[in-house]
Structure 1
Amino acid sequence: MSKISKEIAVFIVFLALVILLGLFANASADMKTPVDMKTPVDTKVPVDTKTPFQGKKVAGFFIEFEEGTTELEVKDILENYNMTVNTIDYNSDIMPSRYYMILDRDKTIDIEELVDEENLTGPIKKGNNYIITVTEQAIQDKNFLAILEKNNLPVKKSVYCYIRLEDESENGSIPQKDAYQIANELEKNEKVLTASPDTRVNHLLIEFEEGTTEPEVKSILEKYNTTMNTIEYDSNLQPERYYLVVDADKRMDVRNELGKVENWTDPIYHDIKKGNHYIITVTEQAIEDKNFLAVLEKNDLQVKNSVLCRIILGNESKNWIWESDERRIENELKMNEKVLTLLSCGSTGST
């Protein structure tokens, strides 16, 4: 067979295979279930609306109004939002009112050097202006107040209100998602500084001073009617905190000495005022430094190690309490001399 004849034969065989393959493909397609193109197909993953997270609700709102807002004005403002109010705790002591300033951008730049967490906190944008919190310490500092007066910076005091919603089941009134939307809308009101829902709190992390025993922890919590399930004593949920107890009048001197070495103090923790003393957190690296130990000896100070406890809140039927109840407990616990810090953590479930 000639070379040309062989090429023709190969081509014919190839063509036959292509035809057979095409016929097989069509037959396979005909065997498939026909698709109704008129019926829309939902390709989204279905949402389970019965999951605990989506079922969570809130009991009320914590709302901070600007200075001078009356109870009648508070009521009028709330009527513009989709909520059924049970009671209004006007000028509530559930959270202390704060001192603040409302400044435009130019003014915030002018006082930028004063923002140091000890006197002023960083600005938070509110409309075209900024809200700057003035600390309790600054309010008691005549020199600092003189600086504010010199710069014509008036200090105001907010009005704190707790809004309890109608709740027959005691499990919450409106869905948490809707509550956050309402809070965002509230903060757009010119008289509202901050707004947040009253959500569920699952547990507390409490730091007690060095040497506090488990029976003492239990006794302290019972004293303040803390609704709790269990106490996880000496918890390892957070790194150990090493600290110094410094007299208020010596605090800045000690601070200045410690500040000479970058890694002696922990920038995450701010000083905590307890009565006539301050709690200054120091690093583990510092307590192994001979120079640091020399500073302690010079100032007659000792390093202490806090005791961290995790308190599971609630009772036999639920493992949570409302944040409004937790805040009242927190306010009382912070007054106890053995309590250093307190942090609340929200619940991830509905029971």
Structure 2
Amino acid sequence: MKELPSINAVAKLADVSIATVSRVLNNSKPVNADTRRRVEAAVAQLGYRTNAAGRSLAMAQSHLLMVLVPDFANPFYAQIVQGVESVTRQAGYKIVLTDASGGESPHGTALDALYNRLADGVINLAHLDDDAAIVSEVQQLPWVNCSEFLPDSGVPYVSIDHRQAAIDAVQYLLNRGHRRIALISADETYRWARLRHEGYELAMLRAGLAPDPALVRTASSTDYEAGSQAVGGLMALLEPPTAVFAVSDTLAIGAIKALRRAGRRVPDDVAVMGFDDLPLSAVFEPGLTTIGQPMRELGATAAEILLARLRDERLPSRTLAHQLVVRDSA
């Protein structure tokens, strides 16, 4: 079946916002003649067809909410989605999970769904560029960012204080006597990864320790194998670290597995600290010392904020509490 062009493609070709395309197609608000001609020309050139189901629902609701998920394999996101679903189910909504890891703009897909009435609202877990056009669009829509957010953007969000959480993690290792503490970071286009890196450096500086670039590795992903590969490079150093702070539990568990294969004992030879407190972290051996995020509460709170927006109510953004969970790995 031929893939139909999206409203996002029309907006790009006409060099206007998606909202403007929607106004032209639906005659909902006045648009100047030149802009209307550009939009109509783009529609004709691309062969765009407005969605019939969307038009029929123009004055109704789909009772579907879209959740943009960056990595379906990451159990962190699964926990958040469970929190979302626990709230939306009671309110009579179903959720649609959308893969936000591909090359196409997931936010364009979500905007298409909103403007065509295929979804009533969006919970975004994916990286959101500080793009003024996109931000101005989602400010006016039933859209909530979860974990990943843009500060001072006017787009509601729920998250934790990632920087302070990382400071707490590294300070715990410092208090245990460690001075050569390594960091396994992740893709720092994500704000949470940047903030955790910043927290690591701040904690080291406050302890009078200059951060050593040789002790920082950026993993290719957040899966277990990426953690194994990252810690392998760290252990190959002439002066390897005595402790490792990984910015996710999956990376930390991968690191522990690699350390075991190399004959290193955790925590006797190398202490390992994670981040998230996934269910697996409590049953893995050794039990993972980590920063606990209230993952289900993050999802549930995001859903509550979104449902309030659908009722034309405005709930404030929320920063939830994290906690240090001490087990056996550090």
* TM class by smaller structure: under 0.3
Work out which of the two has the higher radius of gyration on C-alpha atoms and give 1 or 2: 1
TM-score of the superposition, structure 1-length normalised? 0.21
Looking at secondary structure, tell me which structure has more strand per residue: 1
Q: Which has the higher contact order (CA 8 A, sep 6+)?
A: 1
